[in-house]
A = this chain, B = another copy of it.
Amino acid sequence: MKKRTFTCGLDAAIAVMGGKWKGLILFELQTEALRFGELRRAVPGISERVLIQQLREMEATGLLHREVYRQVPPKVEYSLTEFGRSLNTALGPLGEWGEEHLERIEDIPWEQLP
């Protein structure tokens, strides 16, 4: 990712929540803060390495807050910031659209696309 200007609001939004994981992470955090391990179990298929990477980036962009509890074994909680909550709200209609058209989307022959 390089310093950049954006062609429109959608372009900027996609830069912030782009990739296939960040949307799901936001979604999981919308109701409550979660620990690292809880998030890993909540987002099926993500690897530890990638999850941490995504969390770090989202922390850097101001979408979420990382709270470390000085305990052993360690406990780290991730929660949405105000910024993150506002993005989540903006993603609402997109999620609903996906729900509405879920069957159609699953029927797309993904395996033979590019």
Contact = CB atoms under 8 A, between A and B. Distances in A.
Interface of A: 1-16, 18-20, 23-24, 27, 43-44, 53, 56-57, 60-62, 83, 86-87, 89-102, 104-106, 108-111, 113-114
Contact of A101 (B5, B7, B12, B113): B12
A93 B96 contact: no
Contacts of A97: 9, 13, 86-87, 89-90
A12 to B, nearest CB: 4
Given A1-B114, A111-B1, A12 B92 contact: no
Contacts of A8: 24, 27, 95, 98-99
